[in-house]
Each structure stands twice: as structure tokens, then as C-alpha cells.
Structure 1
Amino acid sequence: MSGNLAAVLEIAEKSSRDHDLWVAWLRTQLVEDWRPGEWDPDTLLFRGDVNNPQTAAMRCSTEGCEIVTKSRGRCTACAKEFRASGLSEEEFNATVRPAANRRYLEPGTCTVERDGLGCQREFHSRGLCRAHSLQWIKATRAASKRKPFQGTLEEWMRSVAVPHDALAECRVAGCSLEQVTLHEGLCRVHDRRWKDLRKSLDYVPVLDRWVEHETPYMAVHHFSLAPLSEVGRLEMLYALQQRDLRHQKIEPSAIRAVVKGLEGVECLLVAGPGVFDTSNFSGAANVVALVKEVAWSIQQGHDRFLGIEPMDKLVWDMKAVIYASGRTEKRAPGTRTALVDFNTVTQPWLREAVMEWARSTRPANTRFRRHVAACVVASTVLARLPGGGMDPTSVRFAEMTLVADAFRKQTKRDGDLQTSKHRADSLAAFYTILDFGRSAGLLNELHGTFARHSQHRIIREDSNEDEIGKAIPESVIRQLDAHLDHFGDEFPYRGYPPEDISAMLRAIYQVLRDTGRRPREVLSLKRDCLEFDGNDCLLIWNNYKGKRMRRRLPISRETAEHIQAWAKHREGLVTPSRSRSYLFPAVSEASEFAHMSTQYLSRAMRLWVTSIDEIHSEGTGRDGRPVPFDRDKIYPYAFRHSYAQRHADAEVPIDVLKDLMDHRSTDTTARYYKVSLKRKQEAVKKMRLHVVDRHGNPAPMASNKAYELRSVAVPFGGCTEPSNVKAGGHACPIRFQCAGCGFYRPDPSYLAAIEDQIRDLKADKETALAMGTDEYVIRNFQDQIDSFKKVAKNMHEQIDQLPEDEREELMESVKVLRRSRAARGRMLPLTVIKRGESSA
């Protein structure tokens, strides 16, 4: 025997031995008595239980319909009938019943019965088995030797038909249909498949081998592993059982598609990645996802077979790590498959410290990633030094100073500096790794000066928890309200019907908009979150950020009605058991939270906002048309900014707004007022240059102080009459006949009020004419109309002559000053948006 041949035979023998060991290991890992009542290991058939929430199989929601579907709702036939009926949901459910012969679970039996004995054979047509159906046809057919039966089918069944014993079942394992061929022992379905196969081949196939890998007659909630090879069956069953242990649903229809694509593969482990190429399978997203998961489960199983744990590698598969840590309840399965590459920490001593810290402490996913990222920052700095920081004895105080400086300069993806809190937390995370490494004896050689020091601290600045200035304008909120009926359209929320998803998201939006709570605070509301005290409505919520629970917020009756409407709708939903007490339920039992997560809400809002054709900002462009609003500024948290800014603009007392926002300090609340004041000052700075007199001639104010202190706001402009200014606008000597007053000082922010007054004066004039009033009264009305028209005309001409950019800035100032005046002297309702107010 040559050396090359011996080497080849040795490799073949080792491969065979490893294969046998792999198969033996798989057998030891399979769960005994898995899914009793659903999985039959003898027939390799899975019959999904429609009452098992972990199986994607449910009966049609139409009462009396036996058809099984993959998700909640009506089957295809009932849905088609419902659309054609023109009835409402309630009317259809109350009046329509599916036809009696509609069946989908198992084949029925013949209805012939005599002397208490029924026919045991399979239903064929007209309620009869095949034999009785043929007998009935012969009995009613005209023949030369026998007179045709003259009665009805029911009479024939009672007087003539004789019940038959059941025929043997099809020889295909798990097939519940009866045999129709004595020689092959196949049912009508498999007999047809066998004949078609024989016609398509140029040789005679072996029946026994074909039967061994043939799938039985199945419904939508069934699947069979028979088509796979012996090893493939074990591998697929292992992958499905692992999926079940991760609390993921078993979806028979998707599994059938995957099994079909893997037919003929001897061993899935060694078949190569080409076998799991998703282009070889159905294009449905759930099938593609299942293909990837089967491949992943088998590879993870092989690692375990070899004794390799997920945290032994330099590249961690976080999905495997999370499940290996026993924290499946912290995240919806299958949603996070990211890899963490520890090779990015180039210094072996630092890499081993952070890896051992993660193995020992088993931190939550967010904390784990923060600490790894901090080590990457430090590793990058050390790698630039001579020697690359590979020797732990060579890094000392100077090197730690460089590392601390790198944390101080940390930036976001867009290049902006990270918040001081983020930078301080990152540096603290790096110190945590060093402290752990020293206490665990992993960093004994690390020099003592490479440690935390007072000079290396990052001071946390007074955090601006609400990112002042990111409020969504009220005009934009009104546009969103107009499209609210489409919030949730086509958004998938596993297992919930589309109309329920939309209703839930609309309710969430209304609470976000009207209460100014943070997204998590809204999503975690309990079903009993409302409290009534006389005519007052209170929302009970939890401030998780401030660790202050069961807070009470006054809300409007309208907002309370929105919450009550959704709570009533929610009563009819089938939700995860963990979500029983929450107003907005989670997507599944395995979700990170027992209520809807902020990630789902953010995705749903992004999909909705993107679907709206036009969203305009408050300004206009060079062509005079509204400027599109930046849709990236519309996200759940932004409604908290809008709530606070709305109240600050309305001059709600700062201590009241502080309590409404549940801020610890008025310093944070005051920033909203600073934004309002700054905007008003900028508006006054522009507006004072466009003041006119009662004739419409320019009469600009010399300064902001002159605009605000030497004049007082009256209904149609500013007034500089000293006694009226001193009295705050309540002592006009000529009873607000502004059009004829030399102290009258209007500006463009009063144009809308002036034009309204012109219309009112015209209406008053017509009324006076109809009453036969004296001419001097009519003349007074007309003179005021002419004067106001002249003022409005001159202001419009002056505005039109401005460059486009200045005109846009002026119109923005108009809106700011109008809102400021509208809010002066009154308290804004706590949660009601002024939907009818113009933004112009």
C-alpha cells in the first residue's frame, strides 16, 4: 500500500468515525417525549395543536369554521366571503356560518348508518364514502335488468345502504387516508404521486424506498421529517427542539418549505454553506429566517459536540452567548445575531481581562457592549505607542493620561462630541475592567500607575435630560393628527391582527402627544393607570429615570377617553401572560419587557412618518411654498420636548411646569423658557424694523426695549400713547379707535388681526345700512375700513419687496410673536393641543 493511499484511507476512516460520533451525540441531545400529542417519533409527523400558543396554528376566527390558519384572523375562504358580503364584522360574525362540508383538519367519515352502526370508510362526496357513492350512482341509473331507485338519497341510505368496515390506512407513515390500491397499499393521494413519479422516470423506482421518504397527507399545521436522510432527520429535529427551548414558535408551514429544500442531503453539518443558500428556498421571510436558524443551530451544536463554548472563542456570537447564559427572557429570540470581535482589543493582557470579566459577571447586553467598546478605545490609543502597549509593564501614568484624553474627546458617528455622561461612563467602564483584572490576578504585571487618578476624571456636566430645542412644532403635530388613521398600517407585530396593531399605536401616540411622558413611561402604563377625583382625571405612571414610581399627572378628559377606549379594545386581545397587567402588551412571551418595547414603537413611528406624502415646516421656501419638515426629527421622545415647550411658550409658571415634567430641578425646566425668550427676542429684533404708523408709513423702533417698553399690545397693533402704555393697554382715551390714532403702531405680526377687523367692520357696516343708521355712523365704518386697508396694503408691499431669506425670517418672527401674545395672561390646559390655531 502506497503512503498516499494509506493517508487517504486514514482520513476517510477518521471522517467516518467523527460522523458516527456526531450522530451518537445528536441522539443524546434530543428531548425525550418532546411535544407529546403533537410530535410522533415513529411516523416522523408533527400535528400542531391549535391550542398551543407555541405553535403557529390557529382556527379561523369565523365561528363554526374548522379551517386552520398560520395566524390570527380568518381563513382565505372566509376572508373572501367577508369582503364580498358587504357586512360589518359584527354582522358577519352573527349571521354567516361556513358550509357544513368545509373541513381541513382530518378527512371525515361516511354518513351511512344502520342499526346503530356507522360506515367507517373515508368521506368521498355527498356525505358518502367512495363505495357508497358508486352504489348510489348505480342505484339511480336506468338499467335494463333493474328498476332505478325512486326515493331520495336519505331514503336510500336508511333502507338500502349497508355500513362498511374501515379499510387499512395508507402505508406511508403518518398518512391517515385509507388505501385504494391493494397491491401497493397506497391512498388516493399517494397512488397518484407514485404513478406520476413512475411516468417521469426512465427506470422503475423501488416502492419501499419511496414510501420511506414520502410525506403523508398533511394540513397547514402539519409537517413531516420523512423526506430527509436519517442523519438529516436527527439534525433537523435537534434544531427544532433547540428553537423550542428558546421559546420560539414552531411554524409548520415554514418547516415544510425548509424540509423540501433539504431533501437528498445526507448530512446537513458537512453539506457546506451552499446547501443553506437562501435562494434555494421559498422567498418568504419566515422561511429564509428559519433556514438561517437551522444552519446556526447545527453549527452551534457541533461546537458543543467538540467541547467549544460560545465564550471560548475570540469572536463571540451574542445570540449563542445570551442563550448559553440562560437569559432568553431578556430579548425576543432571533432578533440579535451580532458578533463581537475581541481581536479589536489588540493587547493580549487587556483582551483576556475583558473576556474573563464578561465570562465571570455575565453582564446584561448593553453593559457588556459598553465595557468592550471602552476597552477598544483604550486599546486603539495604546496601539499607536511604541511597542503597541503589548508589554503590561511598559504602560504607566503617561499612557493612562493619553487614554483618559481619548475618552474626553469621544465623538458620535456624526462627529459631534459625546455627552459628558457618556464619556464619563465609558472611562469608568474601562476602570472597572482594570480593577477586575487586578483582583482576579490577571494583571499582576501591569504597572501600578496605570490606574484611575483624580487628574483623569471626566466631570459630568449638568445634563440636559430633555435635549432642549428638539420639540416638534405644533403645526407639524396637527399634520400628524390628520394622518393618524394610518399609523400602524402594514407594521408587523407578531400575532396581532392589523386593526389591533393600528388601534394600539394610535392610543400610544395620543398619550405621548398629550402627556409629555417618556416613551418607556407610556409603554409601561398599567391597565388601571387612570384615577378620577371628581371632575379631575389623573394618569398614574412611573418615572424610571428618576426612580420615582406611581406619579400622578393631571390630564384632560379627552386624553382619558382615548386611554379608556383602547383599554376596552384591549380586553378582546390574546396577549402574552406576562403582559396581562399592562395597557400595551409585548409582542411575545420572550420579549425583553412585559410591555411593548421602545424599539418597536420607534420602528412603527418611522414607518408611519415615512409613509406620509407631505409634512410641511412652519416656514416657506424661495418659491413661496412650504418647506418640507425634516422627518428625522419626528420620534417618540420628541413629543416630550413638544409638551414642555408648548407650556413654556404659553408662559405657564416654571414651578408648575417643573412638577408636570417631574424634573428634580427648575434649572432643567428653565431651559425651555430660555428657548422661548430667545426666540421672542430674535423675533422682536426683526419685527421692530417693520413697524408702521396709522397711514402705513415706516416707523421703526430704535431697539428691542423701545418695541417692548415704549409700546403696549392692543388688538390691532402696538400703542405708544403714554397713559395707555402705563395702564398696560387698558386705558385708551378714544376707546381703541386705532385706525384714526396718531399713537397707533402696527407691524406684520398684527396683519391677520387687521384683516379680521376689516371683515368685521364690513359686516357691521352692512348691518348698520340695513338698520337705517345715520350717515355719520356709516361714514365712520367706511373710514376705518379704508384706513386699515391702507395699513395692510403698505405692509404687504414692504414685505414683498424684501429679499426672500429676510421675508422667510420675518414670517417666522410673526408666528413667534403671535403665539406669545395668544398665550399671555392665561394658563394653557395641561394636555390639550390647540388644534384649531393657525400657524401663520
Structure 2
Amino acid sequence: MTTAVRRALSSALTDPQPSVAPTWTEHLESRIVRDWRKDEFDAKKLVFTPDPGNPRTSAGYCQRSGCATLLPRAAVCHSCRNDHKRSGTVLSLSEWAPQAEPPARFEPKVGCLVSDCERGHGGNGLCHSHNARFGRWRKTHDDGDVAAWIVDDRPRALSARPRCRAGACRADGTGRNGLCYGHQSEYLKWERSGGTTGLAVDADTWLRTTREPPMDSEKLTSYSSAAAVPFGALPEPLRWELLYAVQQRDLGGGVLATAELRGTYRALLRSGRTSVVGATLLGRTSNNPYLLGLLNEWQRHIDDAHRSWSGIDDRDPQIIYLRDLELTAAATPVGPHAKVDLRPIRQSWIADSYESWVRAAPRSRHNVSYLLHMVVLIDEILTVRGTPRTALGRPDMDAIVNGIRKRWHLDHTQRRQIGLLNKFLADCRRDEQLQAHWADIPATFALDLARHRPRGTKSRTRDGDDAFRFVPQPIIDHLMDNLNLLQRRTPYLTAEARAMLFLQERCGRRTTETIRLKEDCISYDDQGAPYLEWEQCKPPYKMGKRLPIHQETHDVIRQWQQIKREHGIESRWLFPAVQRPGVDKPWNSTYLQTRVQDLVNVVLEQAPYEGVAEGPEGNLMHFDLRALDAYSFRHAFAQRFADAVDADGRSTTPPDVLQEYMGHGSFNTTMAYYQVTAKRRKKALEAVAPRRLNLQGAAISVARERDGFTKVAVSLGHCTEPQNVAAGGHGCMVDHACESCPFFLVDPLERDGMEAKRHALRVKLERARVINAQQHLLDHYEARIKDTSTIIDGIDAYIDGLPEHERLAIREAVERMADIRRRATAARKIDLRQLLEANDDT
């Protein structure tokens, strides 16, 4: 060996070899999940054997004893139904199936009755050759049977023949093609039809495309008897393509449709394909919408993987799929077919600018859509005007803004589009990749924010939160008191509708937030108090502030979860849609709105609301129940929180806390509910003379014009002590024991608040006695209780001494304010289990 050869060999052994890109088959094989469904999938043999006991496997076997036919769910197969009809039995199908004899089509073949004959069964207990001779003999012996024929003809035993080549067939093969008589007949029929398009017409091709190898070569069990799918029976890379697609879809959640999977595998086996990359629906056709969706998703997974491996995208470059973009978080996932179509844009520089913008940074799904509509409009306007790109200027921008004003007539939509256009223009001028287009565009082609302002119609309903709508609480109470009138097609749907409406009213979430509550939406604090966990359906799509809920609301959620379990429904959503089996998605917001209308309609029909309700100004009004929608419950919920007070009459929900609970973007939206409370108080006060009571219960005339200068608001009344008024309420001399202060004045309307405060003081007194507090502290509480009672007695005496019309007016106002406070803090109870049982009984 020469030195040069030795050096070359040494270099070849030591130098790093260039990496070889994996083939398509190797790429797919490396992405297969080997531990996928461990109890059902054999990674070595590539065989999937469904387990009907797995809740994530849509499979069940025929309920007839001995029948192993696979069905989408446990039932009786078509063949056994026919056997039941032919049997003439008086038993119903469900009674007959468990005790019927096993179907004859599953009985194993027996050997030939001729002594020492080694061939298999072919009819009448004889092999095919002996059965043929018996048939000829019987033509001349009408009363003869097999035993008589054997004695008369004395047939000789025949040697064994090889087993039929067709899968797990137990019959003897013939000399031709190695098939039994039955499979030979099937093959000839296939041969006469021309076989499979594009493949050779011979027995080997027929066996490969129509027959599976035996699952067990010794017992000769077939894959079909176990409803198994042998992916390895498909050629490469088709086996890996189908397996990869099935795994990817299954790992996303849902139920694996076994019948559709095996049907697709059989169709691919018959087609003779070696790959389905770029095909449509894996080469199948169907009228079943569910199967079409399943095939489409499998095909998408295969094509996406192939594009990732090859780096070649043969899709239309003018169509951008949102799944390929980096989008900001959203409440709803992006579908596989969501796309942006640039084909309507005729000027390439506009299309290039838009595509660069959507790919440059994470964009919101809404802005991608809003800007697309706007650039299509810009393209239309500039094409009609015919201005060259290098001559664009202010008149062109004026025309574009005028087009926006005509296309989007509302003020807030114009503001959104104009602001988005301003950002789009700025990004395009900064983008280096677009300099070939934008470097020649004059700087005068820009927005003048002072000139190009929105001039649209003001919208009062642009957002359910921004458009404040007052809903009288008695109206909502009346609806919920009659929730038991709501009935749907089934007890399950009835319980679902009632639970959904109950949570919407009790928790006050937006419709989408209620619909998209998760199964684990309840949490607890360290004291065991329940809280509701919810996600905002508006940007930034984060978890909302934990909402404290009543124990009754907690119980309704738990009852509904138990009902779902009893109906065999497992989902990560609290209210899963049951329209499409195997698809784990919640209902949409329209579904909740429809249930509200159902409740309103049944209440209007069977228990209409009679009388008038209190309006937002404290006025009386007739309210049309048909104006209610799902958001009405949310507005009523917020109003209840704004009205709620504690035992001392103080508001229990500060505005900033309510803003977090409701997820309001604007503080003004939250304050609208507190303004209603103030307006109702003012309206109630106008019904009586301007009087206030002091510590001794004596009524003092008040000049309302001077109130703002001589008093400061405190709990349940006003303080007139000069230094405390000057300090804005922060200079109290008696540590806010207002009922014992000579400068404290209370409105008669606060009687219920004073009652609550007296009760709270009595509780404090009892607790102080339990812990053996000092006598001076006990005396302090007793004195405060006495002073509070004096004020209450003074209010009662004052009201009793009023003229009849004033006394009735103030008592009505006091009762109204007390009723508002009671409703604001009261829980609501509904027993879903009891209602469901009542439906079953009827």
C-alpha cells in the first residue's frame, strides 16, 4: 500500500463525514411516539388494538354472545340484527342478543370425515374433493347421506394441501395461485374488473391489497376479529404517514374513532398507494361530515410534516395561513383553515407590505383581519385613482381616509382603523426589506392625525361593558325564581341550561367567560371558602381575579359535574358541547343567549311579571322582559355588588375591587353602578322632608344647600363636628363611635343600617364577655348599644309623628332601601339533582 493511499484512507477514517439529511420515511419514523397508548399500541409490531374500556377510544363490540364485530359503540351489529329477524323469536333484540347462539360465520372449519384424510373442511364435513364425489354419488342415491356414501364408495384418504394464502383462511389452497376455492372466486372477480388502477393484475397484488396477514400464525386469528389496525401491513412510507397523523390528532385530545380508523386503513390498503402526501382526504370520499373532518385533519398533519421536512411549500403564495404566523394570545384557538387571502390585492407592493407586516412581529388575530380589509380598500382606491407609487401624496391619503369613513360608519371603528393604518405606515417605512417599495414613496403620503380624525356615528352598544344598561333586580329575581319552568328535550340538557343560567346570574361573567369555564373552575382559600376561577375573554386573555362565591353556587357546580359523570361525559370544559362526539369544545356564546331567550319566553307564557320596577333614578318603570339578554345578568350582578353593605352600613365592595371582579377596562364603567345607588338614595330622600336625627333622637331641620359646607359623610349618616368636617372626616374625636357622638346626624332612611349596627355591637359585646374583658370595655359597648337604640326609637317616633302621606312615603322608601341591601348580599339556591329527578318522574 502506497503512502498516498495510506494517507487517503487515514483521512477518510478520521475526518468528519458530511451529514446526510434523513429521508421522508426516516423523518416520520423519528417523530413517532413510541409510548403512545401503551395498553393499545404495540410499538414493535406497529399494531393498534382498541380497548372498548378506554373512555378515549370510541369502540365497542357487538352485544351478541360470541360476535366480535367492532362498532362505534356497544350495540348489535347489522348481521346479528338480521339473524334476530330470521330467528322468529318473540324476544326483543336486547333480550335475545346475550343468550343467542354464536353466529355460524365464526365457527372454525373441521377436518374431512373420510378416515385419515388430511385435507380441510369444504362442506358436508368433507374436503372439497370428497364433497364433489359425494355430490355426484347423491344424484343416484336420493336418500343417501355422507356415512352411506363412505360405506358404498370407500373413498381413499388424500394427502394434505398447503393452507390458503389469503390471510388467516383455514381452508386448503388449490393448485392455482395457492388460494382456496372461495378466495379463488373472489380473485377472479377482481381480475375481471381490472384490478387496482396502476398496479399489476395478479394474485400477489390482490393478496397484498385486499388481504391482511394473520394476527396469530398458529391460531390463525385475524386482525379484523380483534378490530386491530396493523399499520405495518401498509407499505412505506404510507404506514408512517397514517400512524403519525393518527397520533398527532389523538395527542391533541378527544376520542379516537376506531371504526373510522380501521375503515381508512382498509381503504389505503386496497388503493395500493405508497404515500398520501398532497392527496385530498387521504384519497377517500364520503358523505359522513364527521369522517370528512377526520380525514381532512389527518391529511393536514401529513402535509404539514412533509413541508417541514422538505422545506417546499407548494401552496398558493398569496394565501397566508394563520397557523403559520406568530399571533398574540387569544381566547379562541386558530383553526387549521383560517387564512389571509391576498389575491384580491392587485398592486404587488401593497400585498408585499401587508405580508411583511403580519410576519414581522406577533400580531393579534383581530388586527390581522382588520388590516386586511383596509389594505384591500386602499388597493381599490389607489387603483381607481391611478396615481403612480412614486407620486403618492396627501390627496391620495385623503381619499383613503374618506374611504375608511364610508366603509366603517361608526366612530369607534373609524378610530380603530385609522390608528391601525398609522402604525402600518410607520412600520412599512422602517422595514428594511420594504425599502425597494417605500423608499420612492413621498413623505407626504402619511396621515395627519389632526386632519384625519374619525367622524362616524357614536355607538352606544359597541361593547357590553362600555354600554351601561340598568336592569332592575326584581326582574332578575323573578326570572330566577321561575327557573324551574325551563324545560328542554332531555333531562341532561334541562339541567345544563339551568346550571348555565344560574352561574351567569350568580357570577356575572361575560357570556364567553361563562361558556368557557373549565372543569376545575373552583378553588378554595385556607379557610375552605370557595372561589371561582375564570379567564378573561378580552385582551390580555389572562386569569381574572378570583371571585368569591356562595356555598350554594359551589354546590350547583359540583352537582352539575356529577350529572356529567353519570352521563359518561368527560371534558376539560364545564359546559362541553355534545353535538359532535369525540370533539372536546365548549358551546359558543350564542348557545347561552338562546337559553336566556328560552327562559324569558317560558316566563312570559306561564308566569309574567306583574307590576312596576324601580328604575336607575329611583323612578318606577314598566320593564319589557324581552329586552333581557345574557349580559343583563352581568349588569345586575355588578349592581348587586355596588349596593352591598356590611353590618355597619359601609359598602363591602370598593370600586377598584369591583373593577377587578368584573374585568372592566375603564374605571368609569365600574362607577356607573355606584352612581345608580346614589341616584336611588337621592330619589328616596326627595320623597320626605329634609330632616335628620341627633343622638337624643330629636329631628333637626337641614338646609340641603348648606350641607356641603357644614357636614361630612360618615357611616350611616353625617358628622357636623367642625374640626372633623375641616379634616374631611379624618379628625374624629371618638374613634368613629358615631352613634354616641352629639355631632352625628342620621337620615331616617338609614334605620335598617342602624338596626344592623346595633346587632353587630351586641355580637361584639358577647364576644368581649366570653373572653372576660375589662368592665370599662363592656360598659363602652353597652353604652353604644343604648345610644343606637335611642336613635332607632327616635326614628320610629319621628316617622310616627309625620303626617299620613309623609309617613307612608318614608316607610316605603326605608323598606325599598332595606330590600335592595338584602338582595345584594343574599345567596340563591337551586337543587339540580332534585330537578333532574322530577323530570325523570314525569
TM-score by length of 1: 0.51
Q: Spell out the pairing of 1:14-413 with structure 2 (5 A cutoff).
A: 30-31=28-29, 34=32, 47-50=48-51, 56-58=57-59, 74-75=74-75, 171-172=165-166, 175-176=167-168, 178-179=170-171, 195=185, 207-216=203-212, 218-219=224-225, 221-223=227-229, 238=241, 241-242=244-245, 244-245=247-248, 247=251, 251-257=257-263, 281-292=285-296, 308-309=312-313, 313-316=317-320, 318=321, 322=323, 335-361=335-361, 363=363, 365-384=365-384, 386-387=385-386, 389=387, 391-407=388-404, 411=408
TM-aligned CA deviation for residue 516 of structure 1: 0.5
Structure 2 CA distance for partners of 1:422 and 1:56, relative to 1, 3 Å: farther
What is the one-letter code of the residue matched to 1:669? T
Structure 2 CA distance for partners of 1:263 and 1:285, relative to 1, 3 Å: same
Answer yes or no: is the 8 Å Cα contact 1:654–1:666 preserved in 2: no
- 1:713-749 Cα offsets, whole Å, 9 max, x none, are xxxxxxxxxxxxx99994388989x9xxxx999xxxx
Distance (Å, rounded) in 2 between the aligned partners of 1:51 and 1:532: 40
TM-aligned CA deviation for residue 447 of structure 1: 1.9
Structure 2 CA distance for partners of 1:102 and 1:436, relative to 1, 3 Å: farther
Answer yes or no: is the 8 Å Cα contact 1:315–1:340 preserved in 2: yes
Distance (Å, rounded) in 2 between the aligned partners of 1:562 and 1:32: 48
- 1:289-342 Cα offsets, whole Å, 9 max, x none, are 2455567678879988997526761123x2xx5269799999779x44244221
Unaligned stretches of 5+ residues in structure 1: 1-23, 82-96, 111-121, 123-129, 131-140, 145-165, 490-497, 683-711, 713-725, 746-816
In structure 2, what is the equivalent of residue 446 of structure 1? 441
TM-aligned CA deviation for residue 378 of structure 1: 3.4
What is the one-letter code of the residue matched to 1:352? D
What is the one-letter code of the residue matched to 2:389? P
What is the one-letter code of the residue matched to 1:241? Y
Distance (Å, rounded) in 2 between the aligned partners of 1:819 and 1:410: 53
TM-aligned CA deviation for residue 515 of structure 1: 1.0
Q: Is residue 605 from structure 1 mapped to residue 607 from structure 2 by the alignment? A: no
Answer yes or no: is the 8 Å Cα contact 2:347–2:379 preserved in 1: yes
Answer yes or no: is the 8 Å Cα contact 1:649–1:823 preserved in 2: no
Task: Specify which of 476, 482, 486 is matched with residue 484 of structure 2.
Answer: 482
Q: Spell out the pairing of 1:412-423 with structure 2 (5 A cutoff).
A: 418-419=412-413, 422-423=416-417
Distance (Å, rounded) in 2 between the aligned partners of 1:268 and 1:371: 43
Q: Is residue 517 from structure 1 mapped to residue 509 from structure 2 by the alignment? A: yes
Q: Spell out the pairing of 1:739-818 with structure 2 (5 A cutoff).
A: none
Q: Spell out the pairing of 1:573-722 with structure 2 (5 A cutoff).
A: 600-602=587-589, 604-605=591-592, 614-615=601-602, 634-635=629-630, 637=631, 639-644=633-638, 656=653, 658=655, 659-660=657-658, 661-662=661-662, 663=664, 667-672=668-673
- The structure whose Rg is larger is 2
Distance (Å, rounded) in 2 between the aligned partners of 1:396 and 1:671: 45
Task: Specify which of 522, 530, 550 is matched with residue 529 of structure 1.
Answer: 522
Answer yes or no: is the 8 Å Cα contact 1:50–1:58 preserved in 2: yes
Structure 2 CA distance for partners of 1:485 and 1:185, relative to 1, 3 Å: farther
TM-score by length of 2: 0.51
SS in 2 for 1:340: strand
Distance (Å, rounded) in 2 between the aligned partners of 1:259 and 1:439: 47
Q: Spell out the pairing of 1:430-441 with structure 2 (5 A cutoff).
A: 430-431=424-425, 433-435=427-429, 437=431, 440-441=434-435
Q: Is residue 551 from structure 1 mapped to residue 557 from structure 2 by the alignment? A: no
TM-aligned CA deviation for residue 350 of structure 1: 1.9
What is the one-letter code of the residue matched to 1:340? V
Answer yes or no: is the 8 Å Cα contact 1:60–1:66 preserved in 2: yes
In structure 2, what is the equivalent of residue 94 of structure 1? none
Structure 2 CA distance for partners of 1:236 and 1:483, relative to 1, 3 Å: farther
Answer yes or no: is the 8 Å Cα contact 1:617–1:627 preserved in 2: no
What is the one-letter code of the residue matched to 2:589? S
TM-aligned CA deviation for residue 510 of structure 1: 3.0
In structure 2, what is the equivalent of residue 802 of structure 1? none
Distance (Å, rounded) in 2 between the aligned partners of 1:542 and 1:272: 39
Structure 2 CA distance for partners of 1:675 and 1:505, relative to 1, 3 Å: same
What is the one-letter code of the residue matched to 2:291? V
Structure 2 CA distance for partners of 1:546 and 1:364, relative to 1, 3 Å: closer
Answer yes or no: is the 8 Å Cα contact 1:224–1:256 preserved in 2: no
Counting matched residue pairs gives 605
Structure 2 CA distance for partners of 1:464 and 1:143, relative to 1, 3 Å: closer
- 1:223-251 Cα offsets, whole Å, 9 max, x none, are 578999x8xx8669646634644556764
SS in 1 for 2:424: helix
State the percentage of identical aligned residues.
Answer: 18
SS in 2 for 1:344: coil
- 1:427-447 Cα offsets, whole Å, 9 max, x none, are 455346535546753522222
Distance (Å, rounded) in 2 between the aligned partners of 1:65 and 1:330: 49
Distance (Å, rounded) in 1 between the aligned partners of 2:529 and 2:488: 31
What is the one-letter code of the residue matched to 2:357? W
In structure 2, what is the equivalent of residue 826 of structure 1? 821
Structure 2 CA distance for partners of 1:46 and 1:575, relative to 1, 3 Å: same
SS in 2 for 1:313: coil
- 1:79-133 Cα offsets, whole Å, 9 max, x none, are x99xxxxxxxxxxxxxxx9789999xx98999xxxxxxxxxxx9xxxxxxx9xxx
In structure 2, what is the equivalent of residue 151 of structure 1? none
Distance (Å, rounded) in 2 between the aligned partners of 1:171 and 1:142: 29
What is the one-letter code of the residue matched to 2:293? A
SS in 1 for 2:340: strand
Distance (Å, rounded) in 1 between the aligned partners of 2:333 and 2:55: 14
Distance (Å, rounded) in 1 between the aligned partners of 2:357 and 2:418: 20
TM-aligned CA deviation for residue 559 of structure 1: 0.6
What is the one-letter code of the residue matched to 2:446? A
TM-aligned CA deviation for residue 179 of structure 1: 4.0
What is the one-letter code of the residue matched to 2:348? P
What is the one-letter code of the residue matched to 1:529? I
SS in 1 for 2:346: coil
Structure 2 CA distance for partners of 1:181 and 1:664, relative to 1, 3 Å: closer
- 1:750-773 Cα offsets, whole Å, 9 max, x none, are xxxxxxxxxxxxxxxxxxxxxxxx
Distance (Å, rounded) in 1 between the aligned partners of 2:797 and 2:377: 61
TM-aligned CA deviation for residue 253 of structure 1: 2.3
TM-aligned CA deviation for residue 558 of structure 1: 1.2
Task: Specify which of 544, 557, 560 is matched with residue 563 of structure 1.
Answer: 557
What is the one-letter code of the residue matched to 2:287? G
In structure 2, what is the equivalent of residue 705 of structure 1? none
- 1:328-378 Cα offsets, whole Å, 9 max, x none, are 999779x44244221333332221011123344364644433433343343
Answer yes or no: is the 8 Å Cα contact 2:392–2:445 preserved in 1: yes
Distance (Å, rounded) in 1 between the aligned partners of 2:429 and 2:227: 55
Answer yes or no: is the 8 Å Cα contact 2:70–2:259 preserved in 1: no
SS in 1 for 2:504: helix
Distance (Å, rounded) in 2 between the aligned partners of 1:546 and 1:290: 32
Distance (Å, rounded) in 2 between the aligned partners of 1:101 and 1:328: 59
